[in-house]
Amino acid sequence: MTAILSDRFLDRLARARSVVAFTGAGISAESGVPTFRGNQGIWTKFKPEELANLDAFLSNPSLVWEWYSARRKVMGEVQPNAGHLALARLEQSFPSVTVVTQNIDNLHRRAGSKHVLELHGNIDRNYCMGCGARYVGDEILFKEGIPQCSGCGGLVRPDVVWFGEMLPLDQWDESVKAIESADVVLSIGTSGVVFPAAELPLYGKRHGAYTVEINPEETELSETMDEVVRGKSAQVLPELVKELESRGVGKQTQKISRK
Ligand code: OAD
């Protein structure tokens, strides 16, 4: 079944110079990365307060580390899906495409998106809580199951945002800037319940962007969007790219941008 892409949506896109894709766990669902909420969601099996916060890590670092290592393994083994690839391809159609993601799975970059802002960190990165030394992947010293900095002996943690923590300021500021100057904001595969990230599509709308949700289910953001496309991102986004390319959108905007 093909999704219905309205003429209004396609016309707004055809005239857009700047597009922001705001993404959540749903865009990676078809790659095999579980979402957080919903029937099969991670938070139905695990409690965020036991795993995704600083106190949990300080009181049981090896348990939290083990959990993140298992997730890192899953995320490293899966492949970007047609939705990630379509977003990367959109870069050929518009002068500016920014992906603002809540995901930590690196799949947008692996799909080829060049301008990716990560609001909740990245599972491939770790840092020492003592001296700030950075570690990539799993190559870390362990003492009795506890990840330790080879420089200062401090505790090494995943570079992800836990509940109760601030978002990385540079990523947030750049995201706000991109969203506030966007002509079209796509909110893709997110339930829109985790703040402050969930505010971003509304910032876009307030600044005149046309806002479109792509999600098979209704979300907290649905009512405020200019339009919703009910469907899976790995299906809807390739259709969108195909439609734009068949209308020659990329060629047009490239001509304009060369003037
Ligand atoms: P959620 O698990 O809350 O929501 C996933 C959304 O994806 C839901 O609205 C689903 O309907 C939708 N979805 C499922 N399959 C889809 C598909 N194939 N195509 C498109 N959409 C699909 O995930 P997030 O909104 O990303 O934060 O969650 C936000 C934050 O909550 C996460 O970044 C994480 C979590 O706690 C931190 O860890 C700080």
Q: Are residues 182 and 112 in the same domain?
A: yes
pLDDT tens for each residue of 138-196: 678 888 889 999 999 999 999 999 999 999 999 999 999 999 999 999 999 999 999 99
Q: Are residues 151 and 237 in the same domain?
A: no
Q: Does residue 30 line the site of ligand 1, with CB under 6 A?
A: yes
Q: Does residue 77 line the site of ligand 1, with CB under 6 A?
A: no
Give residues with Cβ within 8 angstroms of 33, minimum separation 6: 25, 74, 75, 78, 103, 105, 107
> How far does residue 89's CA lie from ligand 1's centre (Å)?
22
pLDDT tens for each residue of 101-146: 999 999 999 999 999 999 999 999 999 999 999 998 767 888 888 9
Report the nearest-CA residue for atom 15 of ligand 1.
26
Q: Are residues 190 and 85 in the same domain?
A: yes
Range of the domain at 93: 1-33+80-120+167-259
Report the nearest-CA residue for atom 30 of ligand 1.
194
Q: Are residues 44 and 149 in the same domain?
A: yes
Which pLDDT does position 254 carry in this prediction?
47
Residues 156 and 127 sit within 8 Å (Cβ to Cβ): yes
